[in-house]
Amino acid sequence: MGKEIRWHRVLGTLLLALFLTEGAAQLWVYVWAGEPYRTFSFYSWSPYGLVRNNPNLTSPAFQINEAGFRRDGEVAIEKPAKTLRVMLLGASVLYSGIAGNAFIESEGRTGSDGTIDAFLEGLIRSDLEFSDVDVEVINAAVNFNRIVEVSVSYIAEFAYYDPDIVIVFGSANNFGGWPAAGAVNERKQTLQSDHLWKSEFDRIVNRNDANSLVENTIRTLEGYFASVGLAKKVAGKLIDGGFALSRRLAPIKFWLTSDDSLPALANDAEVELLLSEYLGYVDAMAAVAKRREQHLVIFWENWLLDLEGVKQFSPGEMRLSAKLTNSRSPTSTKFRFHVRDRLAEQLPSLGISFVDPVNSMAVSQETLFIDYVHYTRKGNQLVAEVLFYQLRPVLKELAALLEAEPS
Amino acid sequence: MQFVTSDLIQLLIGIVIFVTALGAAIFAGRALGIFPREWLNLHEWAFVLKILGIIIFALALHLTSIATHFPADEFIYGRF
């Protein structure tokens, strides 16, 4: 046996291995997603609000159109005549995502036919009062959007789709638990601090080190090869699983001397400051909406645990709330209800409608929540109904204006 | 003083992976025996496997270095 390497054979073997692996990966993706592989990257960068959903995403559950909206069909930027266009902006609740380890697995991921926009469009279309106009409901949700990203994306881009009405979701990403004392003044609250993906942006775009080179190479190859996309997905899940396992084991306090005293909470002045910062973004959106004659609505996202004692939980929600025991915080619930009530007081005076589905949720015995804050298909349907019936007078006025338009 | 046990466990996982890789390298000579010689000889197989090993470890190192940016329990947001 010689030690000489026959390079053509080595190269041929590598190419054959790549060809066979790629073929198998393409076949697997086609069977899994029902379409040829494009990419597994969920997002693409946007200069207006950080990211958009990636139109090239290959997924059996999520359909993203060319504009990055969560829907099958395309939407022209220029609104067609006599069309009532409703635009929904927000984050994962509107996207109909799932977060955390505690969720109702049997509910599965919601397809684009089961999201709030799909139900809302169906409701408006089926109402004879709207039979003289066409209806388009656009879901422009992007996971983890806060009002920071929502407002910028609206002001710089989505306002020019000329929606007649804009409904803003995403309150859960702006208002979590009661802030610790000093956190708002130091700008450490979720609404104020860096977005989760800033580190991604820095690593991929701003840095020029070896890690950045490797990542960009993988990302480029992922756009062409299903085998690379799959390898990245599987390896990522394994590594993330390892880290998650380490965190789950971490609470075993072998050496830990914990300080169980509760941190001091932000006072009223700090809470008002946070609210004021939020309303600053809303003011900016309202200014653009007014200029472009669009009606603005803010939707309040309730958390499952906030509805304990308010809603009669279904068996699935009961099991879910039991799993979420460690997240139970009466203080956080009090904070969110406080913010909700302050918004309900202030927004109407700014000409902005405020919709809180709590009353309808309270009388529903269905499983509305799939995890701590996101909705099931039934939950999406209920929210669409609440929006439709509460906003119906406004929608009717807008439709009447459209009917009077020349064809 | 608080002791971050998750860091210690991550270190242990790292050690296990390193020892596994080291073991694989030590016994690679024997493992090479299972590859057919009709197409490539031992040195050629070793070269091919080195290439594959470099690719797999580059991917693993890269993903490990950014894993804490997106904890698995926040998978909804996904890795960009």
Q: What is the pLDDT along chain B (80 residues), one digit of tens a residue?
A: 445 566 677 777 778 888 888 888 788 777 777 888 888 888 898 889 889 888 888 888 888 877 766 554 555 555 66
Residue A346 identity (one-letter amino acid): Q
User: Which H helix or E strand runs over A43?
Assistant: strand A43-46
Residues of B in contact with A2 (CB under 8 A): 41
ipTM of the complex: 0.74
B2 with A256: Cβ contact below 8 A = yes
pLDDT at B27: 80
Q: Which residues of B touch A (CB under 8 A)?
A: 1-6, 9-10, 13, 37, 39-44, 47-48, 51-52, 58-60, 62-80
The residues spanned by each domain of chain B are 2-69
**Residue A40 in contact with residue A58, Cβ under 8 Å?**
yes
- Token pair recorded at residue A130: 């709207």
Q: Do A240 and B70 touch (CB under 8 A)?
A: yes
Instruction: Report pLDDT for B80.
Output: 60
Specify the 3-state DSSP secondary structure of A298. Answer: strand
Coil vs helix vs strand at A46: strand
**Alpha-helix runs per DSSP H in A292-373:** 315-323, 330-346, 358-362
* Pair A298, A282: CB distance under 8 Å: yes
- pLDDT score, position A99: 80
Instruction: Mention every residue, 6+ apart, whose C-beta is less than 8 A from residue A179.
Output: A188, A189, A265, A266, A270, A271, A274, A335
Q: How far is B52 from chain A (nearest CA, A)?
A: 9
pLDDT of residue A243: 75
What was the pLDDT predicted at B71?
54
**Residues B46 and A1: beta-carbon distance below 8 Å:** no
**CB–CB of B63 and A232 under 8 A?**
yes
Considering only CA atoms, which of B39, B55, B45 is closest in space to residue A21? B55
| Residue with the two structure tokens 């025991």 | A325
* Contact (Cβ atoms closer than 8 angstroms) between residue A191 and residue A278: yes
Cross-chain residue pair B3–A256, CB shorter than 8 Å = yes
Q: Do A246 and B9 touch (CB under 8 A)?
A: yes
| Closest CB to B44 among A5, A215, A240 | A5
- Distance to chain A for B23, nearest Cα, Å: 20
Find the CB nearest B44 among A6, A92, A101. A6
Query: Which residue positions in chain A have pLDDT lower than 50?
Result: 254-258
Q: Give the pLDDT of residue A257.
A: 46
**Residue numbers of A between 244 and 273 with CB closer than 8 Å to B:** 244-247, 249-259
Give the end-to-end CA distance of chain B in Å, rounded to a whole number.
35
Residue B2: what pLDDT? 46
Interface test with B, best of A10, A70, A201, A375 (most B CBs within 10 A): A10
Inspect the interface and report whether the beta carbons of B9 and A250 lie closer than 8 Å. yes
Q: What does the alpha-carbon distance between residue A140 and residue A125 come to, in Å, rounded to a whole number?
A: 20
Question: Residue A152: its pLDDT value, please?
Answer: 97
Chains A & B: contacts with CB separation below 8 Å: 133
The pLDDT of residue B4: 58
Task: Quick: pLDDT tens for A217-257.
Answer: 988 999 999 999 999 888 888 887 777 777 777 665 544 44
Dist CA A196 CA A353 (whole Å): 30
A119 and B CB contact within 8 Å: no
For the stretch B21-50, what's the b/e string if a residue is b when 16 or more beta carbons lie within 10 angstroms of its beta carbon?
eeeeeeeeeeeeeebeeeebbebbbbbbee
